[in-house]
């Protein structure tokens, strides 16, 4: 049986609003990214303990800390140090909230600068030591604004890293705007499925003549989610499905806000959008015969 959550700031910067929506839909948890206008690593201990209290009172779990770790420039020593501090703080927060998973990335993708997978793997050496010592798993997400743009690239990097503390966060929706145009399902999934520890769900269409990704309600874009969910059932996946809505009714999120989600501008109209996507998600899971 899969467990369902959504990333809280996709609905609101007010965590109590996110909790209310999760309870409305009988979800199992809430994933933490920005709360009360702060990134996860910027939250105080008191704020994190308040989040933990709200989760406990609602009988919800926190499946993952959606950190921005390694959304930074490759080879910049100062940024590397800053992001190591981000990771250390996110690990502290993970312990308070009772999760063992932190979502991470593979440095900003830049034209003319393509570090080798071996070089990126080397940059994970210190984070892995820290994660292993703290009982934490780092989940690398396929993200087209970073070097590991799709499932195939994440799988290649993970094969080189080859460490049990580093797995994959699979996001089929991100594959829609992969520059290599990997098909999310079945192609992307088949390449990454043996590495998956967690799944993010969003949907969208690729607007080719404008060279941009347009988020839409889950199940109304280019991802074959019924096929994806049937494959997860077939393959015995029992982890989390965490909605990362991104779609907003009547408004379009600026690209810079999408790449570094945080704050009220990002969350605006998210409560409406998240409810719409959760309704679609439950319908899609029923069509695929997946028990929740």
Q: What is the pLDDT of residue 258?
A: 53
For residues 124-135, average pLDDT: 98
Q: Inform me whether the pLDDT recorded for 265 exceeds 60.
A: yes
Give the Cα separation of 36 and 57 in Å (integer): 19
Q: What is the pLDDT of residue 1?
A: 79
Of the candidates 16, 107, 22, the one whose C-alpha atom is nearest the C-alpha of residue 63 is: 22
Q: What is the pLDDT of residues 267-290, one digit of tens each?
A: 888 999 999 999 999 999 999 999
Q: What is the DSSP string of 228-288?
A: HHHHHHHTT--SEEEE-----SS----HHHHHS--HHHHHTTHHHHHHHHHHHHHHHHHHH
Give the Cα separation of 212 and 229 in Å (integer): 26
pTM above 0.75, yes or no: yes
Q: Inform me whether the pLDDT recorded for 213 exceeds 60.
A: yes
Q: Inform me whether the pLDDT recorded for 77 exceeds 90.
A: yes
Domain around 283: 3-288
The pLDDT > 70 percentage for the chain reads 95
CB atoms near residue 260 (< 10 Å):
13
Q: What is the pLDDT of residues 140-187, one digit of tens each?
A: 999 999 999 999 999 999 999 999 999 999 999 999 999 999 999 999
260: confidence class by pLDDT, cuts 50, 70, 90: low
71: confidence class by pLDDT, cuts 50, 70, 90: very high
Q: What is the pLDDT of residue 257?
A: 53
Structural tokens at position 182: 């990997």
Q: Alpha helix (H) ranges present in the chain?
A: 15-24, 45-57, 77-97, 117-123, 125-134, 151-161, 172-175, 189-192, 225-234, 255-259, 263-267, 270-288
For residues 82-97, average pLDDT: 98
CB atoms near residue 187 (< 10 Å):
15
Give the Cα separation of 221 and 282 in Å (integer): 16
The residues near 238 (Cβ < 8 Å, ≥ 6 apart) are: 1, 2
Give the Cα separation of 165 and 277 in Å (integer): 31
Q: What is the pLDDT of residue 262?
A: 53
Q: Inform me whether the pLDDT recorded for 251 exceeds 70.
A: no
Q: What is the pLDDT of residue 160?
A: 98
Q: Inform me whether the pLDDT recorded for 78 exceeds 60.
A: yes
Measured in degrees and rounded to the nearest 5, phi and psi for residue 43 equal -70, 140
256: confidence class by pLDDT, cuts 50, 70, 90: low
124: confidence class by pLDDT, cuts 50, 70, 90: very high
Q: What is the pLDDT of residue 264?
A: 75
**CATH code at position 88:** 3.20.20.150
Give the Cα separation of 290 and 201 in Å (integer): 15
Structural tokens at position 82: 């800053």
Average pLDDT value for the chain: 95
The pLDDT > 90 percentage for the chain reads 88
Q: What is the pLDDT of residues 22-55, one digit of tens each?
A: 999 999 999 999 999 999 999 999 999 999 999 9
CA 146 to chain centre: 13
Of the candidates 210, 139, 137, 199, the one whose C-alpha atom is nearest the C-alpha of residue 174 is: 199
Q: What is the pLDDT of residue 252?
A: 66
For the chain, the domain total comes to 1
Q: Inform me whether the pLDDT recorded for 254 exceeds 90.
A: no
Q: What is the DSSP string of 35-50?
A: BTTB-GGG--HHHHHH
Give the Cα separation of 180 and 170 in Å (integer): 16
The total number of residues written for the chain in this structure: 292
Cis peptide before 186 (omega within 30 of 0): yes
Q: Report the alpha-carbon angle 94-104-3, nearest 5.
A: 60
Q: What is the pLDDT of residue 263?
A: 58
């Amino acid at each position: 049986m899969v467990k369902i959550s959504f990333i809280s700031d996709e609905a609101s910067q007010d965590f109590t609003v996110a909790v209310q929506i999760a309870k409305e839909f009988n979800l199992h948890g809430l994933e933490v990214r920005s709360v009360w206008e702060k990134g996860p690593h910027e939250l105080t201990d008191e704020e994190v303990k308040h989040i933990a209290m709200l989760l406990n009172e609602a009988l919800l779990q926190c499946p993952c800390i959606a950190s921005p770790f390694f959304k930074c420039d490759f080879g910049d020593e100062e940024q590397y140090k800053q992001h190591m501090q981000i990771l250390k703080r996110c690990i502290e927060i993970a312990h308070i909230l009772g999760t063992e998973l932190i979502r991470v990335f593979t440095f900003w993708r830049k034209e003319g600068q393509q570090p080798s997978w071996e070089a990126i793997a080397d940059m994970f050496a210190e984070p892995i030591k820290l994660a292993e010592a703290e009982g934490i798993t780092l989940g690398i997400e396929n993200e087209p604004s970073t070097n590991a743009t799709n499932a195939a690239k994440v799988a290649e990097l993970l094969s080189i890293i080859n460490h049990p503390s580093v797995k994959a966060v699979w996001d089929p929706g991100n594959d829609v705007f992969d520059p290599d145009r990997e098909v999310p399902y079945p192609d992307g999934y088949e390449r990454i499925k043996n590495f998956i520890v967690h799944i993010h769900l969003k949907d969208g269409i690729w607007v080719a003549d404008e060279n941009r990704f347009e988020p839409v309600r889950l199940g109304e874009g280019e991802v074959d989610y019924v096929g994806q969910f049937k494959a997860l059932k077939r393959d015995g996946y029992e982890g989390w499905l965490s909605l990362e809505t991104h779609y907003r009714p009547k408004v379009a999120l600026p690209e810079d806000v999408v790449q570094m989600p945080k704050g009220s501008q990002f969350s605006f109209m998210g409560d409406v959008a998240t409810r719409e996507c959760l309704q679609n998600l439950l319908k899609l899971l029923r069509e695929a015969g997946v028990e929740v």
